[in-house]
A = this chain, B = another copy of it.
């Protein structure tokens, strides 16, 4: 059932690349069906018409397969966010708030379309699996896409100052938030109130998406899109985006 398109004069390297691709695609399909904890090497092998031991030519172990899936998922989500952010910026360069909201909707859309991939990234850890360091880098991509919007607004002098009295944080914690700004490499976050507002908007956004995916809001809300839009928009406004 595999595509027969020019498999004939394929070099070994090409075949390897193609089959690796098919294998990962099958793994993603299976992940989408049964979730990460239920993912099985044997089943993946079956799906691409291979004997179970053959997948070891392409993947070191089940753990490595999971790691690859995690990285791919972070990248897919990150790319989605970046695309949405760029498109919004191109369409209407100084509408920072709309850009933030559009990016948020793209993130939500991706998550609802790929619930098990979202859960692989943000849900329960897979029993017996410990994510290696390689997964940290890709993880920051979405976050950077969001923070970048705030950074751009600030750089253009369009970021409104925090409303209300300054947050009552200890000097140590203010200091820590400043360090975070350095890590993130965005001085916007150097203002404690802005840093807090970004962290608030970020966690609320992912919190609501998570609730939606795991059905916590069933019987409570019908129009999830409207709720998401309203809450995200409000927090983006609080954070100074216009």
| A binding-site residues for B, Cβ under 8 Å | 34-38, 116, 119, 122-128, 136, 139, 163-164, 167-170, 172-173, 176, 180, 183-184, 196, 199-200, 203-208, 210-211, 214, 216, 218-223, 226-227, 230-231, 233-235, 237-238
Contacts and interface: CB of A to CB of B under 8 A. Distances in A.
B234 A180 contact: no
Give the number of times this chain occurs in the complex, counting copies: 2
A176 B217 CA distance: 13
Contact of A216 (B122, B184, B227, B235): B122
Of A116, A163, A234, most buried by chain B (CB within 10 Å of CB) is A234
B34 A127 contact: yes
Contacts of A199: 208, 221, 227, 231
Contact of A36 (B119, B124, B219, B231): B124
Contacts of A221: 176, 180, 199
Contacts of A136: 218-219
A208 B216 contact: no
Contacts of A234: 167, 196, 200
A74 to B, nearest CB: 11
B124 A173 contact: no
A26 to B, nearest CB: 18
Nearest to A196: B230
Nearest to A37: B37
A230 B173 contact: yes
Contact of A204 (B119, B122, B176, B200): B200
Nearest to A232: B200
A132 B81 CA distance: 35
Contacts of A233: 168
In this complex, which of A200, A208, A216, A233 has the most chain B Cβ atoms within 10 angstroms of its Cβ? A200
Given A200-B235, A207-B204, A214-B122, A180 B220 contact: yes
A119 B119 CA distance: 11
Contacts of A206: 207, 210-211
24 contacts: A35-B125, A37-B126, A38-B128, A116-B124, A123-B214, A124-B124, A136-B218, A136-B219, A139-B216, A163-B164, A173-B226, A196-B231, A196-B234, A199-B231, A200-B231, A200-B234, A203-B204, A203-B211, A204-B207, A205-B207, A206-B210, A206-B211, A210-B210, A238-B238
